[in-house]
Copies of this chain bind each other. A is one copy, B any other.
Amino acid sequence: MTEGPGIPEIKAYLNGVDTPNMFGATTLFVKIIGSIAAVSASLDLGKEGPLVHIGACFASLLGQGGPDNYRLKWRWLRYFNNDRDRRDLITSGSSSGVCAAFRSPVGGVLFALEEVATWWRSALLWRTFFSTAVVVVILRAFIEYCKSGNCGLFGRGGLIMFDVSGVSVTYHPVDIIPIALIGIIGGLLGSLYNHVLHKVLRLYNLINEKGKLHKLLLALSVSLFTSIGMYGLPFLAKCKPCDPSIQGSCPGTGGTGNFKQFNCPNGYYNDLATLLLTTNDDAVRNIFSINTPGEFQVSSLIIYFVLYCILGLVTFGIAVPSGLFLPIILMGSAYGRLLAIAMGSYTKIDPGLYAVLGAASLMAGSMRMTVSLCVIFLELTNNLLLLPITMLVLLISKSVGDCFNLSIYEIILELKGLPFLDANPEPWMRNITVGELADVKPPVVTLRGIEKVGRIVEVLKNTTHNGFPVVDEGVVPPVGLPIGATELHGIVLRTHLLLVLKKKLFLHERRRTEEWEVREKFSWIDLAERWGKIEDVAVTKSEMEMYVDLHPLTNTTPYTVVESMSVAKAMVLFRQVGLRHMLIVPKYQAAGVSPVVGILTRQDLRAHNILSVFPHLVKSKSGKKH
């Protein structure tokens, strides 16, 4: 739960997947401590993913008024305790996380929009924007306060983390070739990274499942390997003489900064130590540094690149809160610098910019985002003139990467088995109707408008469904309709049935409840609460014979589809409107036909589940692909 970046889980939650305990106080606490420890250990991971998750946890706890056991019972807080506001709060929380990690307010909003959120409303846009604005103002205040240096490394670089605005970008037609090259190679490397990481994660899953000791040993050995690599490898690099034109800062001996002296004599610096013996943020700053074309030797860059490729693959899956952004930026910047050296004097683009573009291309190749990455890089580097080039590189890498595999977050989602509903239905879903889907499921369990307590208990015990259609039989219909018609009254939720059973709102005879009774018995606070499990409910034998009027509890306006509807279109409806249940109504109209044919849930609409029942569709699926 607390390992990994948490972004795929948030993405799944906002898609409608219930992921219990994802946003609790324990998760929050473990994430904060874990992330601080992991980053301090100089492991090859970033703090963005955990920060996004921390933001989402805060938002969720705020919305429900505190941790589960110590909730504040203020009335105005209850106002947010519904699915929709929870979803909005978590979206805002995620964008604040990205904003805090990269000091990138607009990038944070766009990240939430492009990668995390499934539904988007105009109002959400400016609310998210508001939350990132608050984050930036607070960040600014802290940075101002910490200027005197009394907060350690916090606030270094000000609001712009990796400033490369000092270089003025000029455009020449010949530059198109290196730019295209960066993009294509970045796309290839990114999809290769996704592919190999997938394999590693599957292996790690096997190890981690063996128990806590195995988890711990795995994390320890990766940490040991990282430390040995970081400290040992700089000894392989040759010392380089300082460039006399750079005064003062070379060689540096502090914990941060460029041109580290390490084991070299005065006047010399160790370029590999400059990259390895420092914080990850500082390493990026050094490798992005402009007007330092000859700072790094090819051999050092190759060692660095290979080391971070290995670390990037082995670190991510260990049981530690980890982000993916920074490892990919580190790999990508090294590859960019290497490409700059390979291109030699062909173009006049600064090697520091090559590193920026390399990082961007690898990100797009692996994560497949465009607009948000573009803005994040703009806000990280503060060079507006670089924007057109960044856009091209991102688009090329994304397109190249899309030819090979899914984005890294989608791969993780699939690996975790979260029932994520994709935006677009598969083409073969047009060839199957929801009626066919309902036919192969167990027959739908319906309840009557006024139902016996015994039947409700039985139904709740024997099924795991979360919603039950309510059908009235032999009703007296409006004028003009034959007597004995059946009526689709709506859908009642499991949790509301449990509420009735727990509160014992039973009737002695088969009758409708009056309106004043309804007002007295049900409050919307009760209806919003979760009511536990059927096993916790004790109903006596005499109560079993009593009745419950389900009418006031029934949602009388469920979304429906006719049985002849294709699964593809039903899925569009399901996802666009954000449903949990969808009723299937018959296309025939005659006496004796049930007014509800079936009920569809998220699981029924997942491609994988449909294919397991209708294997012949696989053929048409693979037929489409080739």
Q: In the assembled complex, how far is the CB of residue A170 from the closest CB belonging to chain B, in whole angstroms? A: 8
The answer, yes or no, to whether A319 is at the interface (CB within 8 Å) is no
Which listed segment binds B: A308-316, A384-392, A534-542? Answer: A384-392
Which residues of A, 79-128, contact B by the 8 Å Cβ criterion?
Answer: 105-106, 109-110, 113-114, 120-123, 125-126
Say how many copies of this protein the assembly contains.
Answer: 2
Q: What's the Cα separation between A382 and B481 when bound, in Å?
A: 70
The answer, yes or no, to whether A160 is at the interface (CB within 8 Å) is yes
Q: In the assembled complex, how far is the CB of residue A368 from the closest CB belonging to chain B, in whole angstroms? A: 9
A490 touches B371 (CB 8 A): no
Residue numbers in B under 8 Å from A16 (CB-CB): none
A374 touches B106 (CB 8 A): yes
Closest B residue to A471 using CB positions: B589
A487 touches B106 (CB 8 A): no
A371 touches B564 (CB 8 A): no
Known A-B contacts A481-B592, A593-B481; A559 and B585 likewise in contact (beta carbons under 8 Å): no
Which listed segment binds B: A148-156, A272-280, A292-300, A566-574? Answer: A566-574
A556 touches B564 (CB 8 A): yes
Which listed segment binds B: A52-60, A136-144, A235-243, A500-508? Answer: A136-144
The answer, yes or no, to whether A587 is at the interface (CB within 8 Å) is yes
Q: In the assembled complex, how far is the CB of residue A514 from the closest CB belonging to chain B, in whole angstroms? A: 21
Closest B residue to A562 using CB positions: B560
Known A-B contacts A133-B388, A387-B136, A391-B136; A590 and B591 likewise in contact (beta carbons under 8 Å): yes
The answer, yes or no, to whether A577 is at the interface (CB within 8 Å) is yes
Q: In the assembled complex, how far is the CB of residue A82 from the closest CB belonging to chain B, in whole angstroms? A: 15
A485 touches B590 (CB 8 A): yes
Known A-B contacts A370-B126, A374-B106, A375-B106; A588 and B159 likewise in contact (beta carbons under 8 Å): no
The answer, yes or no, to whether A304 is at the interface (CB within 8 Å) is no
A591 touches B130 (CB 8 A): no
Binding site for B on A (CB under 8 A): 105-106, 109-110, 113-114, 120-123, 125-126, 129-130, 132-133, 136-137, 140-141, 144, 159-160, 165, 171, 173, 370-371, 374-375, 378-379, 382, 384-385, 387-388, 391-392, 395, 398, 423-424, 433, 475, 477, 481-482, 484-490, 556-562, 564-566, 569, 572-573, 576-577, 585-595
Q: In the assembled complex, how far is the CB of residue A145 from the closest CB belonging to chain B, in whole angstroms? A: 11
Q: Lowest 10 A-B CB distances belong to which pairs?
A: A485-B590, A589-B595, A591-B591, A133-B391, A576-B576, A126-B370, A136-B388, A485-B588, A557-B565, A486-B589
Closest B residue to A172 using CB positions: B144
Choose one: B132, B144, B375, B477; the contact of A588 (CB below 8 Å): B477
Known: A136-B388, A140-B388. 10 other contacts (CB 8 A): A106-B371, A106-B387, A114-B122, A159-B385, A379-B384, A482-B592, A487-B589, A488-B589, A560-B560, A589-B591
Q: What's the Cα separation between A582 and B594 when bound, in Å?
A: 22
Residue numbers in B under 8 Å from A433 (CB-CB): 557
A569 touches B565 (CB 8 A): no
Q: In the assembled complex, how far is the CB of residue A128 from the closest CB belonging to chain B, in whole angstroms? A: 8
Closest B residue to A422 using CB positions: B122
B482 touches A159 (CB 8 A): no
B384 touches A121 (CB 8 A): no
Q: What's the Cα separation between A441 and B201 when bound, in Å?
A: 60
B106 touches A114 (CB 8 A): no
A577 touches B588 (CB 8 A): no
A557 touches B585 (CB 8 A): no
Residue numbers in B under 8 Å from A423 (CB-CB): 121-123
A129 touches B590 (CB 8 A): no
Choose one: B105, B556, B577, B587; the contact of A488 (CB below 8 Å): B587
Known A-B contacts A114-B122, A569-B557; A137 and B587 likewise in contact (beta carbons under 8 Å): no
Q: In the assembled complex, how far is the CB of residue A324 from the closest CB belonging to chain B, in whole angstroms? A: 19
Q: What's the Cα separation between A383 and B486 when bound, in Å?
A: 67
Residue numbers in B under 8 Å from A560 (CB-CB): 560-562, 585
Residue numbers in B under 8 Å from A572 (CB-CB): 577
B562 touches A488 (CB 8 A): yes
